[in-house]
Structure 1
């Protein structure tokens, strides 16, 4: 029986004070893809020289990861920086976003 992959939600700090939000099974591998400046790295991150993984949390299914990504992308820059500073756990992240199960 195949075990379903566990997805992570991650934030990258990009120069010019941008925070990029994404999901991946392995955020370190995904960061290398972003840094390569070629697909499958995101088109948005290609314009930045500096990319640093500043937050990651294991969230479970792809559907849950996409839902969290959707909500985090709608946060203000101030709230995203606060999230990075706090390094919230999955449970605290859901509470912060008002998504308690």
Structure 2
């Protein structure tokens, strides 16, 4: 059985974005919002976070490359990227 690999973006309560990698987006969002996800999303000021973008990839390598590229973007370019991909809640 092949595993699906995802790059996802969270919109945090403090109006910041968090990009990450997972094989299970639903589980990962629950982890973030319960405070057991990434260190970045553990701050109470960032929760709850909302998953506003998910992209599916065939390999972990492709998904993590997308994550890395997103994290290097400026906020302005992150918003443009998200809007281009159809995200509506990215200010």
Q: TM-score range by the shorter chain?
A: 0.7 to 0.9
Instruction: Quote how far apart the aligned CAs of 1:49 are.
Output: 2.0
| Structure 1: 5+ residue stretches without partners | 89-101
Query: Of 14, 38, 48, which aligns to 2:12?
Result: 14
Aligned pairs, how many? 84
Q: Which residue is equivalent to 2:40?
A: 44
**Where has structure 1 moved over 4 Å in runs of 4 or more?**
none
| Structure 2: 5+ residue stretches without partners | 87-91
Q: TM-score, normalised by structure 1?
A: 0.76
Q: How large is the Cα RMSD of the aligned pairs?
A: 1.3
Which structure has the larger Rg?
A: 1
